[in-house]
A and B are shown apart, each in its own frame.
Chain A
Amino acid sequence: MIARTVARAILARLIQAILVALALSTLCFIFIYILPGDMALRVAVGRFGLEQLSRDMVESVRRETFIEAPLAGQYFAWLGNVFTGNLGYSLVSNRSVVSELWRAGANTFTLALIGWALSYAVAIPFGIWAGLRPGGIVDRVTAGLSAAIASLPSFLIGIILIWIFSVSLGWLPPAGNRGPHYLILPAATLGIGLSALSVRVIRNAVSATNDAFFVTYSQIRGLSPGRAFVRHVLRNASTPIATFAALQFAMLLDGFVVVETLFNYPGLGDMLVKALVSRDVPIIMGGALLIGYLYAAVSLVSDLVCLWLDPRQLEGARS
Chain B
Amino acid sequence: MKIVVPLFAVVAVAVAGGSPVVAQDADELRIVQTFELQSLEPRTAGWRLRSAGVVESIVSATPEGQIVPGLAESWTVSEDELSWTFTLRDDAVFHDGTPVTAEAVELSYETLGPLAEIYGRIPLADISSQGETVTFTLDAPFGAFLAYVMDPSVPVLAPASFDADGGFVEIVGTGPYRIVELDLPRNLLLERHDDYWGQAGAFARVRLEAATNPDTRVNIALAGEADIIQELPTASVDRINASGVTHVEQVVLPRHIMLMINVAQPQFETADLRRAVSLAIDRTGIAAAVLGDPALAATQYMPPVAPDWYFPAFDPLTYDPAEANRILDEAGWARGADGIREKDGVRFAGTVRTFPQRAYLPVIAEILQGQLAEIGYDLSIFVGDSSEITEGQIDGTLDLALGIRTMMYQVPDPIAILDLDFARDEVPPGAAGSTNWFNQEMRDAVAGYLSTSDEAARAPYREEIARILHEELPIIPIAWVAENFGVSNRLESFPIDSVLQDWRLNQIELAQ
> Which residues does A use to contact B, with CB under 8 Å?
37-38, 41-42, 44-58, 92-95, 159, 162-176, 261-264, 266, 277
Contacts and interface: CB of A to CB of B under 8 A. Distances in A.
B18 interface: yes
Contact of A170 (B20, B35, B38, B386): B20
Interface string B483-512: 000000000000000000000000000000
B439 interface: no
A4 B467 CA distance: 85
Given A51-B430, A172-B21, A164 B14 contact: yes
B98 interface: no
Given A44-B429, A55-B429, 6 more contacts: A56-B120, A159-B215, A166-B219, A173-B22, A174-B219, A262-B216
Contacts of A277: 385
A262 B213 contact: yes
A264 B394 CA distance: 35
Interface residues of B, number: 52
Interface stretch (B39-47, B135-143, B256-264, B311-319): B39-47
A93 B211 contact: no
Given A51-B406, A168-B15, A173-B223, A41 B391 contact: yes
Contacts of A93: 38-39, 184-185
A236 B17 CA distance: 48
Nearest to A42: B387
Contact of A263 (B17, B20, B38, B216): B216
Contacts of A58: 429
Contact of B223 (A38, A53, A94, A174): A174
Contacts of A56: 115, 117, 120
Contact of B13 (A45, A166, A168, A176): A168
14 contacts: A38-B390, A41-B390, A45-B386, A48-B43, A56-B120, A167-B219, A167-B222, A169-B14, A170-B20, A173-B22, A174-B219, A174-B220, A264-B209, A264-B213
Given A41-B387, A93-B39, A261-B216, A168 B18 contact: yes
Contacts of B209: 176, 264
Contacts of B394: 38
Contact of B186 (A38, A163, A168, A266): A266
B73 interface: no
A165 B16 CA distance: 12
Given A47-B44, A58-B429, A174-B219, A52 B15 contact: no
Interface in B1-25: 10-11, 13-22
A52 B38 CA distance: 14
B429 A54 contact: yes
